Amino acid sequence: MSVLNEQAAGVFIVAATPFSPDGALDYGSMERMLDFYLSKGISGMTVLGMMGEASKLSDAESKEFVRRVVRRVAGAVPIVVGVSNPGFVAMADLAKSAVDDGCAGVMVAPPPTLRTEEQIIQYFQHAASALGTIPFVLQDFPLSTGVHFTSKTLVKIAEILPTFVMLKHEDWPGLRKISQIRDESVQSGGRRISILVGNGGLFFPEELGRGADGAMTGFAYPEMMVDVLEAHRASNGDLARDLFDAYLPLMRYEQQPGIGLAVRKYVLSKRGVIACEFQREPKTLLGPREYAEIDTLIVRQDRRLEELGRRP
């Protein structure tokens, strides 16, 4: 079993959670989706994230879903499980179950009640204590959680909590923050943790240039992030940006607050990855105009990829 550590890099896809039209978990679509993700060259996988509708599953469903994901992936890539919960007992219970099943680590987002640096540090000290030796990803997503981390606070948490091995960076604007974390870590002689970025990959080329190690997000075209990262590693910045630009209009559309998950699930269903775009409540549905706009963006995206010599 692989264990998540500070050297983790690449594209960790944030998996959707497929449901049938009656609201039941669709395990057939789940298996097809996992095979699809692996075929695109991902480096890791994150399940039960915010865009994975984690809060809409029961505890029993969450554990069973993770168990089936691990069974299907069969060690091909490391798996991270979202375990965010206001209660540390419930958090630790899901985390232990996931790791016992073969997951590499867990991801924790802060509750919205934290305001001061002291409160933030104390919270993650308690979380780390509850998780024990399980390595964790800290999700820095203030647009969703309302909790704002400074770079100094993140560096300090990394210094005092060795099981904090990865930052999921989703602050916006946040390019300068990545640079500050890297610089302050060097200046303090602290650990260099892994930084994977989210927000649908909307700033991916610039984030890589600032010191990010990859992406952890669920854009419905994971091959975009894989190809951009490969071009970046090959020092081919022009190709990385050309590829990124081809997908940017659809990425931008998916990042709309409220309908982003609906867009992502529609595109995945349109690609034949999942059987349908059903979401459990609470949900926001797309209308005829949204569907038409997305379809137009996909057609234009395919044309740009063909111009780049890439098969859509």
Summarize pLDDT for 153-180 with one digit per residue, the tens.
999 999 999 999 999 999 999 999 999 9
* Cis peptide preceding 288, ω within 30 of 0: no
Place of tokens 């984030």: 207
Give 231-251 pLDDT, tens digit per residue. Answer: 999 999 999 999 999 999 999
Nearest CA to 80 out of 103, 59, 49 is that of: 103
List all residues 6 or more positions away from 287 whose beta carbon is below 8 Å from its beta carbon.
Answer: none
- Going from the C-alpha of 139 to that of each of 65, 108, 124, 196, 222, the distances in angstroms are 21, 6, 11, 10, 20
**CATH class of the domain whose range is 10-245:** alpha beta
Instruction: Please return the burial class of 41, using the count of CB atoms within 10 Å of its CB with bins 0-12, 13-18 and 19+.
Output: middle
**pLDDT grade, residue 291 (50/70/90)?**
very high
Is the per-residue pLDDT at 196 higher than 80?
yes
Is the per-residue pLDDT at 220 higher than 80?
yes
Mean pLDDT of the 187-201 span: 95
Mean pLDDT of the 269-279 span: 98
Is the per-residue pLDDT at 1 higher than 70?
no
> What's the pLDDT at 311?
83
Place of tokens 């469903």: 61
Quote the tokens at residue 310: 């890439």
Is the per-residue pLDDT at 312 higher than 80?
no
> Which 8-state DSSP code applies to residue 259?
T
For the entire predicted model, the pTM comes to: 0.97
Question: Beta partners for 282?
Answer: none
> Which 8-state DSSP code applies to residue 161?
-
At 74, is the secondary structure helix, strand, or coil? Answer: coil
Give the C-alpha separation, 13 to 15, whole Å. Answer: 6
Nearest CA to 45 out of 3, 15, 88 is that of: 15
* Cis peptide preceding 78, ω within 30 of 0: no
Give the C-alpha separation, 136 to 44, whole Å. Answer: 14
Is the per-residue pLDDT at 261 higher than 70?
yes
- Please give the mean pLDDT across all residues of the chain: 97
Q: What are phi and psi of 194, to 5 degrees?
A: -75, 140
Give 84-94 pLDDT, tens digit per residue. Answer: 999 999 999 99
Give the C-alpha separation, 36 to 52, whole Å. Answer: 16
Give the C-alpha separation, 224 to 233, whole Å. Answer: 14
**Exposure string over 261-294, b if 16+ CB within 10 A, otherwise e:** bbbbbbbbbeeebbbebbbeeeeeebeeebeebb
> What's the pLDDT at 225?
98
At 280, is the secondary structure helix, strand, or coil? Answer: coil
Quote the tokens at residue 127: 């979380």
Q: Are 200 and 224 in contact (CB under 8 A)?
A: no
Quote the tokens at residue 45: 């996988």
Quote the tokens at residue 77: 């890539």
Q: What are phi and psi of 80, to 5 degrees?
A: -110, 140
Mean pLDDT of the 276-303 span: 97
CB atoms within 10 A of CB 116: 9
> What's the pLDDT at 2?
86
Give 106-141 pLDDT, tens digit per residue. Answer: 999 999 999 999 999 999 999 999 999 999 999 999
Give 33-72 pLDDT, tens digit per residue. Answer: 999 999 999 999 999 998 899 999 999 999 999 999 999 9
Is the per-residue pLDDT at 299 higher than 80?
yes
